[in-house]
Structure 1
């Protein structure tokens, strides 16, 4: 009867068969048993069938011990069992998804990005996973991107790269993207002014694209250069030059702004802007800019933590990706942290959660000290202490991959000694926290959206 599933009741139909064949249930009674098992955790209705099923199996010649064991097995199965048709449909989708992810990872990642917002994973995680599997990801570009993420051929190979779509730009309207795509069909854009003039999108849309760094792949313009060029535009061109520009089909010399050399953002500042306006970055991971400081505080990487020996005590830090508090976990919180080396799985017991609720629920970046628990390939860090490091991200905009060491003592750099370097390169001082001042709300703080499942 259960030979198809090797004696294990995997489907709801299995419970119905056992009840009818082994215990003499009618079809209606067996269906009521199935429905009760599916909701027994909430209603407890399955208990009313226990005596009938056990007695029915005993009357059919089964031992009482076997009958009771069978009932317990069916009772436990009820909380996760599916009808066979549903299970088969889900299995087909899962198999097809795994096949596509294995053999066509670029198409799989692009499809997920175009389906957002959805599911468990944020855009940065989807793109990060694709990159780890060898997929080339190209940035948003006004000269190449469409609304959706698309695939671009990689010359000399049969592989494709993902071109991020302009749908990722915060606040950008689909109608403005459509105007840009249509305008570049005739010929490629030549400048920011050319994009604005031919697409006829408002300057606000161009500002959103510039903040997302969409002009750098197209024209080699850094964020500040693109924003400076947009400042010279008007939503209505100056009448004096309209006729000349229309005749030449391009901006005339009188409309060109003189070149200005601007001080560019640091790499760390660019990462902050990427997260703020795109939701992900193709540059270095934010934690990599803080690694030197973290190492000095004996905070290990996520990869080192997950490879540590069982029962090791250590401290790990990372961006908070996911917070989960399943109803069946009896108040236990599961947190996923990420740094430049990977992810770490954290377990927070209810007592610690209640003590540090504000940190657990509000921090964008956390340091967690605890003990490693390893069971086979499953590794968790059991949290004992939590620290909110969101404030460490507030100075990220002033950091670069290589720190510029001052010639004087460390405090002299902060206080402006003669050998302290360019004052613009010095990290901004952060005032001490007060009740009316929340460090997490610093204007340059990296905003990372985590997924909370409670």
Structure 2
């Protein structure tokens, strides 16, 4: 009555007003319920407020809720650091299972300590045993941790590969792995008996000190991504910047500040691929380098021409035209190139770079009406079957 009488009072015909109400009534039986809209608005507002005022808490909460959401942990951590949050590495003496908050130099916020849950393959039960054994008495060496915690050496290897011995024990990744090689799952009876009668740990073996060749900076980043899914050292693309600059490929931040209509070329790791059903075949890709992110628009004809590169590349270079609408900037792609080989080269290996993809990665999980997009395997297995399986793989979040 309120709608119809109000429309009539404003000059609309009675029949038109009743027909309008009938259409709204029909939509109301299956459309968005008001309660759903209200609850979603509240969640969106609360999340935005938390990210604005407490980005440290927001970052830790998102990492502890994985797997979830649109972005992978590497992007969550990068965004938090861009907003001034200090991120501290995984540590055998400081990390718990979940990511935690620690006092920071800036008293207005906390630092986020990455939890051992970030270490790929490690079991929760082994971490719980380690934390209980650690209590208020930090571990002093690999041998001390192994003897007191009593967890399998395989778990120690997983933590060493994630560089968890470096922050407190000052033991680099290779040195920690070398020390673990001398251990086994059960102590030798004689040494175990001596250790039980002494406050000081007794080494299982007395080996000469070996100076191992350190990994290159790029190699460290490769190992970080392989075993943690992210790196606090440097962005992978930073190691390729000189080469990209020589090819006149600009960073993403320069793209985002370029004038409307300008043609240029940029490159980055593929984070997200989306091809929503309502977009009439248009694909949207988000890429990232050490300076930030850039958003690409791929028209259907280009998608068909370069489909293999679009769906299988861990890193791409794109030449196109800038489209600017206020603060919203896109690059309309005209030409794409696969740069996965260059990305793999930063660690000195001929293998794909292991970048974590999100759960929305259409190139990983498939989706859409195109039967070619129902992918039961990772893109590497479909398009490039001869690549090594021990390398780095970029996991993007794709919606198609």
Match of 2:62 among 112, 120, 139: 112
Match of 1:326 among 249, 272, 276: 276
1:262 and 2:262 matched: no
1:339 and 2:289 matched: yes
- Deviation of 1:439 (Å): 9.0
**Matches of 1:256 and 1:437, distance apart in 2:** 49
Unaligned runs of 5+ residues in structure 1 are 2-16, 24-56, 400-435
Deviation digits for residues 352-398 of structure 1 (CA, Å, limit 9, x no counterpart): 11111111111000001111111222111011111110011121113
Q: Which residue does the alignment assign to 1:450? A: 396
1:191 and 2:137 matched: no
1:293 and 2:243 matched: yes
Q: What is the DSSP-based 3-state SS (H/G/I as helix, E as strand, rest coil) of the residue aligned with 1:441?
A: coil
Q: Which residue does the alignment assign to 1:304? A: 254
1:366 and 2:321 matched: no
| 8 Å contact from structure 1 (residues 395, 445) kept in 2 | no
Q: Which residue does the alignment assign to 1:37? A: none
**Matches of 1:337 and 1:367, distance apart in 2:** 9
Q: What is the DSSP-based 3-state SS (H/G/I as helix, E as strand, rest coil) of the residue aligned with 1:262?
A: coil
| 8 Å contact from structure 1 (residues 396, 444) kept in 2 | no
| 8 Å contact from structure 2 (residues 249, 265) kept in 1 | yes
Change (3 A) 1:290 1:80: farther
Deviation digits for residues 66-121 of structure 1 (CA, Å, limit 9, x no counterpart): 8699689969x989963322222222222211221111110111000000110101
**Matches of 1:150 and 1:96, distance apart in 2:** 21
Q: Which residue does the alignment assign to 1:411? A: none
Change (3 A) 1:327 1:254: closer
**Matches of 2:342 and 2:29, distance apart in 1:** 44
Q: Which residue does the alignment assign to 2:355? A: none
**Matches of 1:301 and 1:160, distance apart in 2:** 31
1:135 and 2:85 matched: yes
Larger Rg belongs to: 1
* More helix per residue: 1
- Deviation of 1:249 (Å): 3.9
Q: What is the DSSP-based 3-state SS (H/G/I as helix, E as strand, rest coil) of the residue aligned with 2:222?
A: helix
Change (3 A) 1:293 1:74: farther
Change (3 A) 1:440 1:366: farther
**Aligned residue pairs, count:** 367
- Deviation of 1:157 (Å): 2.0
Change (3 A) 1:234 1:372: same
Q: Which residue does the alignment assign to 2:102? A: 152
Unaligned runs of 5+ residues in structure 2 are 350-381
| 8 Å contact from structure 1 (residues 391, 439) kept in 2 | no
Q: Which residue does the alignment assign to 1:93? A: 43
1:123 and 2:73 matched: yes
**Matches of 2:29 and 2:166, distance apart in 1:** 53
| TM-score, normalised relative to structure 2 | 0.84
Q: Which has the higher contact order (CA 8 A, sep 6+)?
A: 2
Which has the higher mean CA deviation after the structures are superposed, 309-318 or 83-92? 83-92
Change (3 A) 1:156 1:331: closer
Q: Which residue does the alignment assign to 1:276? A: 226
| TM-score, normalised relative to structure 1 | 0.75
Q: What is the DSSP-based 3-state SS (H/G/I as helix, E as strand, rest coil) of the residue aligned with 1:303?
A: helix
Change (3 A) 1:276 1:68: farther
Q: What is the DSSP-based 3-state SS (H/G/I as helix, E as strand, rest coil) of the residue aligned with 2:163?
A: coil
Q: What is the DSSP-based 3-state SS (H/G/I as helix, E as strand, rest coil) of the residue aligned with 2:344?
A: helix
Q: Pairwise CA RMSD of aligned residues?
A: 3.0
- Deviation of 1:441 (Å): 2.5
Change (3 A) 1:355 1:178: same
Correspondence 1:166-245 to 2 at 5 A: 166-245=116-195
| 8 Å contact from structure 1 (residues 318, 366) kept in 2 | yes
